[in-house]
A and B are shown apart, each in its own frame.
Chain A
Amino acid sequence: MVSLLSVMLGLPQGDYIELHRKRHGYRHDHFERKRKKEAREVHKRSAIAQKVPPSSPVVHSFGPPGSYVFLLGFDDDYELCIHFRCTLNRCVQALGIKGKMFAKKRYAEKALMKKTLAMHEESTSRRKVDDDVQDGAVPAYLLDRENTTRAKVLSNTIKQKRKEKAGKWDVPLPKVRPVAEDEMFKVMRSGKRRTKQWKRMVTKATFVGPSFTRKPPKYERFIRPSGLRFNKAHVTHPELKATFNLEIIGVKKNPNGPMYTSLGVMTKGTIIEVNVSELGLVTPAGKVVWGKYAQVTNNPENDGCVNAVLLV
């Protein structure tokens, strides 16, 4: 039922705060109190940053005197601290996750404040510009030393590098950490006495395709669980710097081996083909592009999603 009480008693309706201010004005000390309170905020904040807030209990652990000692319980345990001969000044800090969050927030604020201050202090006066030091320039006291040129050594290293590079494609992640087989597969025991160990379950993210049907369970050697199958990838276009949620068409190459490629396992560095018809790309000839390659940039089994960067 409607609460009539407030209106029956003539209690406030509508913009009653403004109405009261209009009629009666402010308190005689309102502005002074406000100013003083705002001035006190600074001190309050630093007090919080330095002390443990009284409502949060903290774990006690002793250490040698002079080390950080965590306080147990509330402020009146300072006496306990002294008794164990630790220096009080080092004991105080806002602790735990609250302390960390506060410190992070405060740090961001301070950085911003410093930047704005610096910006304000930038003056229009001109200053002297230092010339860049030339490469190979040597200070005066090192002149007249003989430096042998290591031309041959240098050329050898260059050749080696060229050789290495030949085996690599021009992809965003040229080198990836190799994944061992026991990391990739989990052995599934089967049989009445659980002695047969020829089945393996894939523990990484996989892609199987829409027309995939399992082999009869008795004969399938590699199990790809449906919980780890992904159909979509978050693909970033490196130039547009935009990310799209695109369907995967297939796995092109897995750097860990052709077996993994045939299984469709997606690990970090795998090249996949994605459906880019959403982007509306057109070849110079005029044909619409609908599939492009992308390289996986994260560990999908750890993040629960496949992030890739488009290879343009």
Chain B
Amino acid sequence: MDLRQLLLTLMLVWANDSFSTSEGQSNDGTCSKTRILIPLSPHPVLLERPHFIKCRSPELETFSCHWTNRDFHNLTTPGNIQLLYMRRNDEEWKDCPDYVTAGENSCYFNTSYTSIWITYCVKLINKDEVFDEKCFSVDEIVQPDPPVGLNWTLLNISLTGIHADIQVRWEPPPSADVLKGWITLEYELQYKEVNKTKWRELEPMLTTAVPLYSLKLGRDYEIRVRSRQRASEKFGEFSETLYVSLSSISPVLYVEVVSELEFPLLLVVIFGTFGVIVVMALILFSKHQRLKMLILPPVPAPKIKGIDPNLLKKGKLDEVNSILACHDSYKAQLYNDDSWVEFIELDIDDPDEKADGLDTDRLLGDNHLKSHNCLGVKDDDSGRASCCEPDIPETDFSASDICDGTSDIDRSKKISEKEEDLLCLDQNDNDESLASPDDPTAQKPNINIQSEDNQSKPSSADSIESPSPPVHTQLSNQSSVANIDFYAQVSDVTPAGSVVLSPGQTNKTRRTQCEAYTEPAIQCQPRFTMDNAYFCEADVKKCITATSHDAAEPHVQEQNFIEDVYFTTESLTTTAENPGPAAEASSTEMPVPDYTSIHIVHSPQGLVLNATALPVPDKEFVISCGYVSTDQLNKIMP
């Protein structure tokens, strides 16, 4: 009760403030308000004085006022509340013309009592006690009745089958004379889904029909309309709610799913597009050059066949001109040369490697290499080094005196070929040399190289294997072809049975070949066919003994020491050591075969041929004389 009293007191105070005016302004005939003071008491009597609730005109033709009346009569003097009104032009207050029509505690003013655009003042009194007073103009209190006749029609359904458009119509309140234009109403429509709480509003409109767009199928909607006088602020009451049932129209089956996916689908589309744009930008920036090439391909430069565009870049105009001036063939040659040169340039620069395959170099030593024009040429890009091939014997031997025949088989074979050519020539020389066997050094060089070799050989005591100049001291002072030193002849057979080898007596072989084998023929009867250049050892013995060997022995021996012996039987390159004095006797007695079988190799320095085993040749052996293979030798020897 105390709270209620406090609230009432506050309300009365507020009402007093809103209606209070100065006393001096009540003289001009307007409604005046008297200030009402309410004493505050500890237990204030809750006086809810009658006051106007509202005065309202629905159609601008009539109006009515309503007031409150609560338990007042019980507290104060009993009486009826009167409403007095006065218009601006009137002079006195008039009583309410109709207390009934508008209901209880109301006063109704019909059209005859209603004047528009005229200020009215009404007051509530009870006898002389004024409870409330109010002044207004009728055109200011217009609150129309609610519209009637709401209905809706379906306009269309969207293609997706999700949304629909409807048209809502209504009628103005029948009380309002809008046809003649006495009152102009504007309407406000509100709608919402059935299960929602918030109404959606449309802008006030002057028409009585409005379309509603994008209503969802499968849902139910509520629609209500209210009206107000144009240019006024207060709306009338809402109309009855119109129920729009769109659920009766069955949506497409996928509508629910699609509607649920609308939002994420939109996001996906947006982000997908953004991603595609980013990827395209990355591709553009990364493949900028390639795309540029694709879109704007470079103009192909004129290409002349056979010309290296690098030449143009380097500015070698001479070469370019030469190329251009010549025909294609020339161009090819030049181009090939250039490429060949270029190719050469890429080769390794070590000249020693080139000569690795040559054993001669190893034998000769580095100094020989340097003097060798061929090998000494540095392997540069000029290509001159490649024109020098160590395999070419001519070049080798012509180039230097040291290009001796090596122990290389190939070389020896070639040299042997040479030897045969020179056999006949040497023969004459040999004959001459035989006459003067004392001059071992006086050798008539058939070949310059050989003479050089012969001269150098005696000076060098090192045991080197090479086709040493054949110094046939026994037979001739000149060893015909130095290369023929591949052949070794048995110069002597020791009593122990070992054979002393000496450098091949080529003159002997030649003689046999040339059939000018006169001297040996004198002394020994050739019991062997002459078809073979090689002798059996037995046969050789006989021939050798006939030959003069005494004088040549020391030389031979000397030279045996010096000279190398080369055996072609097994391609063993060894240095034969002169057995020594034992060889002297044997060497003189025995003919000198070119080939001698080797059956024992004592050491790298010595080679001993066991002749004792040999003198027991089988017939087989004899028949196949000339060469005793190691197999045969193994049979013979223990």
Do A and B belong to a common assembly?
Answer: no
Show the binding face of A for B, using Cβ within 8 Å: none
